[in-house]
Amino acid sequence: MEISAVLPAWNEAENLAAVVAGLALALDAAAARHEIIIVDDGSQDGTGALADGLALSDGRVRVVHHPSRRGYGAALKSGFAAANYAWIFFTDADGQFDPAELGRLTAEAPGHRFITGFRARRADPWRRRASGFIFSAAVRTLFRVKATDINCAFKLFRKDLISGHDFITEGALINAELLAAAARQGVDPVEVAVTHRPRLKGLSTGGSARVIARAGREMVALYLDSRRNRKG
Protein backbone atom coordinates (compact mmCIF):
# COMPACT_ATOMS: atom_id res chain seq x y z
CA MET A 1 0.00 0.00 0.00
CA GLU A 2 0.95 3.63 -0.53
CA ILE A 3 -0.56 5.88 2.14
CA SER A 4 -0.82 9.62 2.67
CA ALA A 5 -1.39 10.20 6.40
CA VAL A 6 -3.04 13.52 7.29
CA LEU A 7 -2.60 15.08 10.74
CA PRO A 8 -4.70 18.19 11.41
CA ALA A 9 -3.15 20.18 14.24
CA TRP A 10 -4.21 23.26 16.15
CA ASN A 11 -2.06 24.19 19.16
CA GLU A 12 -0.66 20.65 19.57
CA ALA A 13 2.99 21.54 20.23
CA GLU A 14 3.02 19.31 23.32
CA ASN A 15 1.77 16.25 21.44
CA LEU A 16 2.82 16.56 17.82
CA ALA A 17 6.36 15.14 17.85
CA ALA A 18 5.37 11.97 19.70
CA VAL A 19 2.35 11.39 17.45
CA VAL A 20 4.40 11.87 14.28
CA ALA A 21 7.10 9.49 15.56
CA GLY A 22 4.54 6.81 16.37
CA LEU A 23 2.76 7.29 13.08
CA ALA A 24 6.00 7.03 11.10
CA LEU A 25 6.74 3.67 12.72
CA ALA A 26 3.21 2.42 11.98
CA LEU A 27 3.46 3.53 8.36
CA ASP A 28 6.87 1.88 7.95
CA ALA A 29 5.22 -1.40 8.95
CA ALA A 30 2.02 -0.98 6.93
CA ALA A 31 2.96 0.78 3.70
CA ALA A 32 5.45 0.34 0.87
CA ARG A 33 5.55 4.12 0.49
CA HIS A 34 4.07 6.80 2.67
CA GLU A 35 4.01 10.46 3.57
CA ILE A 36 2.81 12.39 6.62
CA ILE A 37 1.05 15.67 5.93
CA ILE A 38 0.77 17.92 8.99
CA VAL A 39 -1.79 20.66 8.57
CA ASP A 40 -1.10 23.51 10.98
CA ASP A 41 -4.45 25.25 11.33
CA GLY A 42 -3.23 28.67 12.41
CA SER A 43 -1.66 27.48 15.67
CA GLN A 44 -0.32 30.03 18.14
CA ASP A 45 1.80 27.80 20.38
CA GLY A 46 4.69 26.94 18.10
CA THR A 47 3.04 23.96 16.41
CA GLY A 48 3.85 25.34 12.97
CA ALA A 49 7.56 25.79 13.67
CA LEU A 50 7.74 22.35 15.29
CA ALA A 51 6.05 20.80 12.24
CA ASP A 52 8.55 22.51 9.94
CA GLY A 53 11.39 21.08 12.01
CA LEU A 54 9.95 17.57 11.76
CA ALA A 55 9.71 17.98 7.99
CA LEU A 56 13.37 19.04 7.80
CA SER A 57 14.44 15.92 9.68
CA ASP A 58 12.34 13.51 7.60
CA GLY A 59 11.70 14.04 3.90
CA ARG A 60 8.49 12.02 4.13
CA VAL A 61 6.92 14.68 6.35
CA ARG A 62 5.33 17.71 4.71
CA VAL A 63 3.56 20.70 6.25
CA VAL A 64 0.60 22.74 5.09
CA HIS A 65 0.09 26.02 6.94
CA HIS A 66 -3.15 27.92 7.39
CA PRO A 67 -2.31 31.57 8.24
CA SER A 68 -5.29 31.67 10.60
CA ARG A 69 -7.54 29.11 12.20
CA ARG A 70 -10.12 27.79 9.74
CA GLY A 71 -11.45 24.68 11.46
CA TYR A 72 -10.96 20.94 11.73
CA GLY A 73 -12.70 20.14 8.47
CA ALA A 74 -10.77 22.80 6.59
CA ALA A 75 -7.52 21.32 7.89
CA LEU A 76 -8.50 17.85 6.71
CA LYS A 77 -9.56 19.20 3.31
CA SER A 78 -6.15 20.83 2.86
CA GLY A 79 -4.48 17.56 3.79
CA PHE A 80 -6.64 15.54 1.41
CA ALA A 81 -5.85 17.96 -1.42
CA ALA A 82 -2.11 17.63 -0.75
CA ALA A 83 -2.16 13.82 -0.63
CA ASN A 84 -0.09 12.06 -3.29
CA TYR A 85 -0.93 8.42 -2.70
CA ALA A 86 -3.89 6.15 -3.46
CA TRP A 87 -4.87 5.65 0.18
CA ILE A 88 -5.53 8.42 2.69
CA PHE A 89 -5.39 7.89 6.44
CA PHE A 90 -6.13 10.52 9.03
CA THR A 91 -6.03 10.79 12.76
CA ASP A 92 -5.72 13.55 15.34
CA ALA A 93 -2.50 15.07 16.66
CA ASP A 94 -3.65 15.03 20.29
CA GLY A 95 -2.32 11.58 21.19
CA GLN A 96 -5.71 10.06 22.00
CA PHE A 97 -5.35 7.39 19.30
CA ASP A 98 -2.54 4.85 19.05
CA PRO A 99 -0.90 5.09 15.60
CA ALA A 100 0.35 1.51 16.01
CA GLU A 101 -3.24 0.35 15.46
CA LEU A 102 -3.13 1.51 11.84
CA GLY A 103 -2.37 -2.10 11.00
CA ARG A 104 -5.87 -3.05 12.14
CA LEU A 105 -7.24 -0.88 9.35
CA THR A 106 -4.80 -1.86 6.61
CA ALA A 107 -5.53 -5.53 7.32
CA GLU A 108 -9.08 -4.88 6.08
CA ALA A 109 -8.04 -2.94 2.98
CA PRO A 110 -7.98 -5.83 0.47
CA GLY A 111 -11.37 -5.78 -1.20
CA HIS A 112 -12.56 -2.62 0.58
CA ARG A 113 -12.35 1.09 -0.14
CA PHE A 114 -13.19 2.58 3.27
CA ILE A 115 -12.17 1.37 6.73
CA THR A 116 -13.06 3.33 9.83
CA GLY A 117 -12.23 2.86 13.46
CA PHE A 118 -14.75 3.04 16.26
CA ARG A 119 -13.76 3.82 19.80
CA ALA A 120 -14.31 0.60 21.73
CA ARG A 121 -14.23 2.57 24.96
CA ARG A 122 -14.30 6.32 24.55
CA ALA A 123 -12.01 8.09 27.03
CA ASP A 124 -13.88 11.40 27.20
CA PRO A 125 -16.06 13.06 29.86
CA TRP A 126 -19.62 11.78 29.92
CA ARG A 127 -21.00 14.94 28.31
CA ARG A 128 -18.74 14.43 25.27
CA ARG A 129 -19.75 10.78 25.08
CA ALA A 130 -23.44 11.64 25.31
CA SER A 131 -23.26 14.37 22.68
CA GLY A 132 -21.25 12.05 20.43
CA PHE A 133 -23.90 9.35 20.70
CA ILE A 134 -26.67 11.80 19.79
CA PHE A 135 -24.63 13.27 16.95
CA SER A 136 -23.86 9.86 15.44
CA ALA A 137 -27.51 8.83 15.62
CA ALA A 138 -28.59 12.04 13.88
CA VAL A 139 -26.03 11.63 11.09
CA ARG A 140 -27.01 8.01 10.48
CA THR A 141 -30.66 9.06 10.18
CA LEU A 142 -30.23 12.19 8.08
CA PHE A 143 -27.51 11.04 5.70
CA ARG A 144 -28.14 7.29 5.48
CA VAL A 145 -24.65 6.33 6.51
CA LYS A 146 -23.73 3.09 8.25
CA ALA A 147 -21.10 3.77 10.88
CA THR A 148 -21.16 3.32 14.63
CA ASP A 149 -18.82 6.14 15.62
CA ILE A 150 -19.14 8.95 13.06
CA ASN A 151 -16.44 11.25 14.43
CA CYS A 152 -13.81 8.64 15.20
CA ALA A 153 -10.62 10.25 13.89
CA PHE A 154 -9.02 7.02 12.72
CA LYS A 155 -10.05 6.45 9.11
CA LEU A 156 -8.47 4.93 6.01
CA PHE A 157 -10.00 5.28 2.55
CA ARG A 158 -9.20 5.25 -1.13
CA LYS A 159 -8.44 8.70 -2.45
CA ASP A 160 -10.65 8.08 -5.47
CA LEU A 161 -13.66 8.02 -3.13
CA ILE A 162 -13.43 11.81 -2.88
CA SER A 163 -12.21 12.50 -6.39
CA GLY A 164 -14.30 15.38 -7.71
CA HIS A 165 -16.15 15.85 -4.41
CA ASP A 166 -16.33 19.48 -3.33
CA PHE A 167 -16.51 19.44 0.47
CA ILE A 168 -18.83 22.10 1.84
CA THR A 169 -18.11 21.65 5.56
CA GLU A 170 -15.09 23.14 7.31
CA GLY A 171 -15.80 22.19 10.90
CA ALA A 172 -16.46 19.01 12.87
CA LEU A 173 -19.06 17.75 10.39
CA ILE A 174 -16.34 16.77 7.90
CA ASN A 175 -16.54 13.13 9.04
CA ALA A 176 -20.25 13.02 8.31
CA GLU A 177 -19.75 14.55 4.88
CA LEU A 178 -16.99 12.08 4.05
CA LEU A 179 -19.17 9.11 5.04
CA ALA A 180 -22.15 10.54 3.16
CA ALA A 181 -20.07 11.04 0.01
CA ALA A 182 -18.99 7.39 0.18
CA ALA A 183 -22.55 6.21 0.84
CA ARG A 184 -23.79 7.97 -2.29
CA GLN A 185 -21.34 5.78 -4.22
CA GLY A 186 -22.68 2.65 -2.54
CA VAL A 187 -19.67 2.33 -0.24
CA ASP A 188 -20.27 1.52 3.43
CA PRO A 189 -17.21 1.50 5.69
CA VAL A 190 -15.76 -1.59 7.29
CA GLU A 191 -15.60 -0.90 11.04
CA VAL A 192 -12.70 -1.85 13.30
CA ALA A 193 -12.46 -1.35 17.06
CA VAL A 194 -9.61 0.94 18.13
CA THR A 195 -8.26 2.18 21.45
CA HIS A 196 -9.09 5.66 22.69
CA ARG A 197 -6.92 7.28 25.34
CA PRO A 198 -7.47 10.31 27.59
CA ARG A 199 -5.95 13.57 26.43
CA LEU A 200 -2.94 14.19 28.66
CA LYS A 201 -1.62 17.45 27.19
CA GLY A 202 -3.08 20.43 25.42
CA LEU A 203 -6.60 21.79 25.28
CA SER A 204 -9.58 19.99 23.79
CA THR A 205 -12.08 22.19 21.93
CA GLY A 206 -14.34 19.52 20.43
CA GLY A 207 -17.12 20.08 22.95
CA SER A 208 -17.06 23.88 22.94
CA ALA A 209 -20.20 25.88 22.26
CA ARG A 210 -18.53 27.43 19.21
CA VAL A 211 -17.76 24.05 17.67
CA ILE A 212 -21.23 22.65 18.43
CA ALA A 213 -22.98 25.71 16.97
CA ARG A 214 -20.89 25.51 13.81
CA ALA A 215 -21.66 21.79 13.49
CA GLY A 216 -25.36 22.56 13.74
CA ARG A 217 -25.19 25.11 10.95
CA GLU A 218 -23.15 22.80 8.77
CA MET A 219 -25.51 19.89 9.40
CA VAL A 220 -28.40 21.94 8.00
CA ALA A 221 -26.33 22.96 4.95
CA LEU A 222 -25.14 19.40 4.36
CA TYR A 223 -28.65 17.99 4.70
CA LEU A 224 -30.01 20.44 2.13
CA ASP A 225 -27.11 19.61 -0.20
CA SER A 226 -27.70 15.86 0.21
CA ARG A 227 -31.37 16.28 -0.65
CA ARG A 228 -30.46 18.14 -3.81
CA ASN A 229 -28.03 15.36 -4.75
CA ARG A 230 -30.64 12.66 -4.17
CA LYS A 231 -33.14 14.51 -6.33
CA GLY A 232 -30.51 15.01 -9.00
Residue 129 pLDDT > 90, yes or no? Answer: no
pLDDT given for residue 187 in this prediction: 93
Query: Which class would CATH give 2-231?
Result: alpha beta
Interaxial angle between packed helices 16-30 and 47-57, expressed in degrees from 0 to 180 and rounded to the nearest 10: 40
Residue 98: band (very low, low, confident or very high) from pLDDT cuts 50, 70, 90: very high
Beta bridge partners of 88: 4, 157
* Domain edges within the chain: 2-231
Q: Are 5 and 37 in contact (CB under 8 A)?
A: yes
For 56-86, how does the pLDDT look when each residue is reduced to its tens digit (9 = 90+)?
999 999 999 999 999 999 999 999 999 999 9
Residues sharing a CB contact under 8 Å with residue 2, sequence separation 6 or more, in sequence order: 31, 32, 33, 34, 85, 86, 87
Q: What is the pTM of this model?
A: 0.87
pLDDT given for residue 49 in this prediction: 97
Average pLDDT of every residue of the chain: 88
Residue 169 pLDDT > 90, yes or no? Answer: no
Q: Are 91 and 197 in contact (CB under 8 A)?
A: no
Neighbours of 211 (CB within 10 A): 16
For 19-54, how does the pLDDT look when each residue is reduced to its tens digit (9 = 90+)?
999 999 999 999 999 999 999 999 999 999 999 999
